[in-house]
Amino acid sequence: MTRIASLLPTLALSFLSIVTAAKAELADLHLSVVPRTDAEADRIARVIAPTTDFTKPEPFEANAAGAATVRITDTRNAFSQPSANISFERELDFRVGNGLFKKLWVSSPSSTLASDGLGPLFNARSCQRCHLKDGRGHPPEGPDDSRASMLMRISIPGGIAPAEIADYLATLPDPVYGGQIQDLSVAGHPAEARIGITYTEETILLSGGEMAALRAPVYDLGSLGYGPPHPDAMFSPRVAPQMIGLGLLDAIPAADILARADAQDADGDGISGRAQIVMSTTFDVPMLGRFGLKAGKPSVLEQSASAFSGDIGISTTLHPAGYGDCSVAQDRCRAAPDGNSDAHDAVEIGDIGLALVAFYSSNLGVPARRDVDDPKVLRGKQVFYETGCIACHTPKHVTHRLADQPEQSFQLIWPYTDMLLHDMGPGLADDRPEARATGQEWRTPPLWGIGLTEQVSGHTYFLHDGRARSLLEAVLWHGGEAEPHKQSVIDMAPPDRAALIRFLESL
């Protein structure tokens, strides 16, 4: 109980807080915030201003996550360390959360009452199965690629948009397949489909006689096990993102993120970052969306609960249905035994267990930057800044001062994201809206740790569906608001392009 006790303030905030509508408008309700003083706000504004000196590293630049930054290792466990500034007692909570993150769930009924409730339809038996070594997933490389971690979201137009949220693009789950395609199932239930991919390639000519090849995916769901989906069904392939630094992203003040939004491009720079706004399942009010590839969830805790329900078929108090993502049309699936238990808050993983998983996810440490003083890295940083990449990939933020999260409290961090939605053009479009995000908009992904992808995950596949096989390919897929910046990369001198990639590899 001693280990659990340290989480009780978080539990109280997440599940038991009573909030009023007057204070709810895009407030960080999931955090226990100590307001900044005017002097602190002025100091922060100076610290996070973009540098113009590329002759040397900036102060504290190597510490990408502030005091929470962990030492770099040369193993696959580089993303699996707890925040460096975590206390001994809270590290024990982290370890318990890690155990739940790795837990293999089994079908109901089972003698292991603390682990049953899997599915009946699911994409993975554990969180760790998609986020191998807490890193980035990859699309299937063949029909028998058991280590792939891709899922297919599905929805149809319709539904009622919340009156409190402007520009909300209402959608509904597919009436047959629910919110995503499950490619696995428990005994006695057919899986929904198996994702197959083929690619077509296009060669891009670069300056200096160099070339790059981009592959465009074509998806095949094979024989859909429950019949045809709705004729207006929209699909969106997703690979699992890396897990590091989530608690720090959660702790960036919503006001700071909103201050960078420029939906109408009032400054005329061609960048129209928009805030994602979603209804919070915890608080039942609009909140800033932060997590997911289209920022569809407002907190680490709500993202964790959604993944339990959709990916594993495990219920929480936020998503209490024991049958997970089974639709009304899948009546046998809905009627199957589940693991909901009074011992676990009448669901399959109770509030304490969910909070521990969220705590673990929030405290996966960001490794220290490498080679920050290398001349080629510094030149690449200058190219990154002067090409305009920082218009979306904002280098620095300072997190809230927090009363009960010392690891994330008042840290200067370098995630290289503005946490906003941007139109990335038709090439990357999934044509599936999500809340305020259109079918061409994606949240700017954080770049910290991106250079360690191959070390941790054993591949170099990037973007929302893993189509890019290198960082250069990922850059060359940029379109929409980033089209001029991509063209600059195509046209720049080869040494500058190589330095840009070297800088990204140092993150």
Task: List pLDDT tens digits, range 384-423.
Answer: 999 999 999 999 999 999 999 999 999 999 999 999 999 9
- Output the DSSP codes for 189-209: S--S---EEEEEEEEEE-GGG
CA–CA gap between residue 216 and residue 221 (Å, rounded): 17
Q: Report whether pLDDT(206) > 60.
A: yes
| pLDDT above 90 (res 296) | yes
| Closest by Cα among 335, 320, 439, 368 to 72 | 368
Give the confidence band of 14 by pLDDT, cuts at 50, 70, 90: very low
Q: Which residues contact 266 (CB under 8 A, 6 or more apart)?
A: none
pLDDT above 50 (res 23): no
Contact 452/80 with Cβ under 8 angstroms? Answer: no
One-letter amino acid for residue 428 of the chain? L
Task: For residue 152, report the phi and psi dihedrals to the nearest 5 degrees.
Answer: -120, 110
Q: Does pLDDT of 205 surpass 90? A: yes
Residue 16 has pLDDT above 60, yes or no: no
pLDDT of 5 over the 90 cut:
no
State mean pLDDT over 489-497. Answer: 98
Query: Is pLDDT above 60 for 4?
Result: no
- The pair of structure tokens assigned to 471 is 């960082």
Considering the chain, what is the average pLDDT of its residues? 93
Concatenate the DSSP letters of all residues of 27-82 into one string.
Answer: --TTS-EEPPPHHHHHHHHHHTSPP---SSPPTTTT-TTGGG-B---SSTTTT--B
What separation in angstroms does the CA of 195 have from each of 131, 142, 200, 262, 372?
Answer: 18, 10, 17, 37, 40
Cβ–Cβ < 8 Å for 131, 357: no
**Cβ neighbours of residue 331 closer than 8 Å, sequence gap 6 or more:** none
Can you tell me the distance from the alpha carbon of 275 to that of 433, in angstroms, rounded to the nearest whole number? 14
Counting runs of H as helices and runs of E as strands, what totals does the chain give?
A: 15, 16
SS3 473: helix
pLDDT over 50 (residue 20): no
The whole-number pLDDT of residue 25 equals 57
99, β-bridge pairs: none
Q: Is the pLDDT of residue 12 over 50?
A: no
H/E segment holding residue 93: helix 88-102
Provide, rounded to the nearest whole percent, the portion of the chain with pLDDT above 90: 90
Tell me what the mean pLDDT of segment 343-367 comes to. Answer: 97
The beta strands (E) that lie in 158-233 are given as: 171-172, 180-181, 184-185, 196-205, 211-220
> What pLDDT shows up at residue 163?
93
What string of H, E and C letters represents the secondary structure of 380-440?
Answer: HHHHHHHCCHHHCCCCCEECCEECCCCCCCCCEECCCCCCCEEECCHHHCCCCCEECECCC
Cα distances from 27 to residues 8, 233, 287, 288, 401, in angstroms, run 21, 34, 7, 8, 15
Please give the share of the chain, as a percent, with pLDDT higher than 70: 95
Work out the pLDDT band at 348, boundaries 50, 70, 90.
very high
| 143 pLDDT above the threshold of 80 | no
> How many CA atoms within 13 Å lie on the side-chain side of 390?
18
The residue whose two tokens read 């405290």 is 363
Q: Are 287 and 165 in contact (CB under 8 A)?
A: no
Which tens digits make up the pLDDT trace of 435-470? 999 999 999 999 999 999 999 999 999 999 999 999
How confident is the model over 149-184, as pLDDT tens digits?
A: 899 999 999 999 999 999 999 999 999 999 999 999
Region 270-291: what's the mean pLDDT?
96
Question: Two tokens at 507?
Answer: 């993150």
Give the integer Cα–Cα distance in Å for 392 and 358. 27
| CA 154 – CA 156 distance, rounded (Å) | 7
pLDDT bucket at 26, cuts 50 / 70 / 90: confident
Q: What is the mean pLDDT of residues 48-52?
A: 97
Q: How confident is the model at residue 22 (pLDDT cuts 50, 70, 90)?
A: very low
Pick the closest to residue 287 from 250, 321, 315 (CA basis): 250
Q: d(Cα 134, Cα 137) in Å, to the nearest integer?
A: 9
